[in-house]
Structure 1
């Protein structure tokens, strides 16, 4: 009886994960047949604000604008030992009744990593009250002053690993210099 329960539970978990194409704990793959769900920026406006965290041996900072013109915009930077390592510009836009996340990376001198007309695109997979899942990129609201971002990153050797970025809201009088 116990073995049958384990088999059934394992099968149900496999079905649930495959429905959204989940290959990592907190991120989902895009399902071409299902497409993106309907969503607007009002579903995710809790992302807006000034956020700081620690990752890659340094301080990470993201500033997300409020929705305007059917988009939200983010500027990101990584600072290690008082030196900029790289920047990102990210947008989330309302397109055809759903959301699309796009980003570009830049070296500290603002020379782009990607080709001039190429962006990293992440299609919307699922939205819940406290999470928004783009393909391989998830935002999670912990509280009004804390969020996690989970990103699937290629390690350069063909392995994809899910990386968690924990951010705290930067309050006006608590900025790190």
Structure 2
């Protein structure tokens, strides 16, 4: 079932971007920086993000159920030459990969504003500085589409060192 959800996620992830007039995705990604904990998909979830000076975001997501690792994701938001997108790879708790070696799930960016990054199939919504809600559109095995909510609260900020002179 998890592999079919992953396939459904990649199929949901195709769209043409539309942009808010004065907000770039690189203006919003710095708000992700740090670590977050919360709930989603019936388990406990955690994410940590690092943001580069150019706005690229790299992160890790962990899902735990019954106090055991269920799966993890390596996440990246960047412009890979065909417009901004989030790319991710899944691994089970034992580090066995879901996707083939060179495959990944992709969510094309549709729009960005000060509090929201909207990707095809996934939305990240900031509520102030310390709350983050995500909405993931999933197509189940039976073809039904569901919106799966996640709620996070910030647990740690990343302290950035100043570049040496």
CA contact (8 A) 1:70 1:94 kept: no
SS of 1:117's partner is coil
1:73 is displaced (CA, Å) by: 0.8
Q: What is the CA deviation profile of residues 84-120 of structure 1, one whole-angstrom value per residue up to 9, with x for unaligned ones?
A: 0000111001344842110111011111111111111
Aligned length: 143
Instruction: Quote the Cα distance in structure 2 between the aligned partners of 1:171 and 1:53.
Output: 13
**Where in structure 2 are there 5+ consecutive unaligned residues?**
1-11, 158-165
Q: What is the CA deviation profile of residues 128-152 of structure 1, one whole-angstrom value per residue up to 9, with x for unaligned ones?
A: 1111101111000111010101111
Q: Which fold has the larger relative contact order, with Cα–Cα distance below 8 Å and residues 6 or more apart in sequence?
A: 2
Bigger radius of gyration: 1
TM-score (norm 1): 0.72
1:67 is displaced (CA, Å) by: 2.4
Instruction: Quote the Cα distance in structure 2 between the aligned partners of 1:136 and 1:117.
Output: 21
**Where in structure 1 are there 5+ consecutive unaligned residues?**
1-27, 173-177
Q: Which residue is equivalent to 2:161?
A: none
Please provide the CA RMSD for this pair. 2.4
Of 110, 121, 125, 2:106 maps to 121
